[in-house]
Chain A
Amino acid sequence: MNEKMNYTAAFDELKTIVSEIEEGEISVDELSEKVGRAAELIKICKEKLTSTEENVQQILKEMEAKES
């Protein structure tokens, strides 16, 4: 659940930065900071697309525990 929040939050934050930059609300002083943050967020988002952390063994264990 928390991870879901994370990428949703990352995505939302990214959208905010993009709209700030597109609307020219960002000064040159902030620019490098914002671009750096955006790069981080993009990385997080891209990683989310190409990896999962779910564990089949864990699910099977829970399944057995609940059946017994």
Chain B
Amino acid sequence: MSEQIKDKRVFSLSEVMLSIQKTLGNRYGSSFWVKAEMNKLNHYKHSGHCYPDLVEKEEGKIIAEIRSHLWSRDYQRINQNFLQLLKEPLKDGIKILFQAKITFDPKYGLSLWIQDIDPSFTLGDLEKEKQLSIQKLKQEGIFNSNKSLKLPLLPQRIAVISVETSKGYADFVKIIDHNDWNYSFFHMLFPSLLQGDKAAEQLIGQLRMIKRLRHHFDTAAIIRGGGGEVGLSCYNDYHLAREIASFPLPVLTGIGHSTNETVAEMVAHSNHITPTKLGEFLIQKFHDFSVPVLEAEKSIITQSRNILERENKSLENLVKLFRSDSVSLIEKNKSEIKNAMVKIHSNSLSILNQAKLGLKIQTEHSGKIAFRQIREEHSALMRFGQRINEKSADYIKKQQQQLSYIEKNVQNLRPENVLKRGYSISLLNGKSMTSAIDIKKGDTIETLLFEGKIVSRVETILNTKNHE
């Protein structure tokens, strides 16, 4: 009850609060459905109660805000519904459609008492957000960026984002480290939460770390498995999806769940339903490289052998051909030589015969000519002989006449005849003299006369020449 202090009517605080409580109770007697964003769940583990902060935002600004409370039993039930339908627990930052009643407590003030939450509304909202993430990434033109990167021929060095204790991680490591083909991988763990509210932030952090170390890696793999299927909406987070889409290395995901594909998985280079499948994918990449190498090896061996065989065979054929050609060529030449011999023989004979014939004709011809010539020569000779005879007779007669004339002269010239005619010959020392030059006074000279000889001594010499 109010009291009077001076001229003022004064209420105690509890009276005011109780009045408000009563008024509100009358005005808001029944519960109603409200939609709001649950900024913070504020779940107190000890009591099990939650005191969610509810807000309404317009263009990012808070335009309404109120505290609320959700009693432990209701929370348990509602959370169970969420897990069933959304695969997500009740958590911070989701939009909820809830049934509430306004309460007012004199001590704790105004609050909305959440009695029920409709999970399908939140599901729709999350889906809307997911679609919004996709749309934004597409608008930015990076939705397919990571897919368009080329996975190296051998994705051998793998930056693994996972949790050491995760079954999925163990499966993955087992597959790639103990393969039957001795393929060698290098992998390094970058630990991160893989689900729940904090996961997106940690995943982004590790991705950024790997980005800085990217020259050591061929690919980044996000691996999760065996941890239940709750709290995976972080993979729809726009920022995480953006980091993956624009990541400089191909990002492979093996998150291991049976819910709809998350945005992170959509923008990853490739998504694999489990870590095991992701490991097998990498092994397959090695096969893709190895098998052609082995095939190449096989092909080279067989083809080389084929080429050698083919060349050998063609060489053999060539040798055979060469041999038979040579033999036939020799045979041909032999027969040609034989033919030539026969021809030469017969031709020679005929040439010889012809020559003989020619010779015979020639001989006959020559004989006739010779005879004729001889005859001609003979008759010429005869004529010549006759002429010689005639001429000789004339000549001889002439000569005889001359001879007889000369004989007469000679007769006349005989010393006896000369001496007879009164001439004498003077001899000096037995030699006839024709000059007085050589004669000295006192020389004895002989003078021959026709009859007799005079020996006289020189008295005087008259040099006829000097005389004249």
Interface residues of A (CB under 8 A from B): 1, 4, 7-8, 11, 14-15, 17-18, 21-22, 24, 26, 28, 31, 35, 38, 42, 45-46, 48-52, 54, 56, 58-59, 62-63, 66
Contacts and interface: CB of A to CB of B under 8 A. Distances in A.
Contacts of B181: 49
A49 B292 contact: no
Contacts of B212: 62-63, 66
Contact of B154 (A22, A26, A49, A63): A49
Given A17-B296, A22-B303, A46-B290, 9 more contacts: A4-B154, A11-B153, A18-B299, A22-B299, A26-B307, A52-B157, A59-B188, A62-B212, A63-B209
Give 6 closest A-B pairs by Cβ, nearest first: A52-B186, A54-B186, A21-B303, A45-B293, A18-B296, A50-B184
Interface of B: 152-154, 156-157, 181-186, 188, 209, 212-213, 215-216, 218, 286, 289-290, 292-293, 295-297, 299-300, 303-304, 307-308, 311
B307 A52 contact: no
Given A28-B311, A52-B184, A35 B300 contact: yes
Contacts of A62: 212-213, 216
A14 B293 CA distance: 8
Nearest to A60: B188
Chain A interface helix/strand/loop/mixed = helix
A4 B152 contact: yes
B300 A11 contact: no
Nearest to B299: A18
A49 B290 contact: yes
Contacts of B311: 28
A17, A48, A56, A62 interface centre (most CB from chain B within 10 Å): A48
Contacts of A15: 292, 296
A21 B184 contact: no
B184 A51 contact: yes
A18 B215 CA distance: 32
B53 to A, nearest CB: 35
A48 B185 CA distance: 10
Contacts of A58: 216
Contacts of A50: 182-184
Contacts of B216: 54, 58-59, 62
17 contacts: A4-B154, A11-B292, A14-B296, A15-B292, A15-B296, A17-B300, A21-B303, A21-B307, A24-B307, A38-B296, A45-B290, A45-B293, A46-B290, A49-B183, A49-B184, A50-B182, A52-B186
A24 B321 CA distance: 24
B154 A1 contact: no
B153 A52 contact: no
A11 B288 CA distance: 11
Contacts of A66: 212
Nearest to A55: B216
Contacts of A22: 299, 303
Given A45-B289, A45-B293, A66-B212, A7 B154 contact: yes
A27 B184 CA distance: 37
Contact of A52 (B185, B213, B304): B185
A46 B182 CA distance: 10
Contacts of B153: 4, 7-8, 11
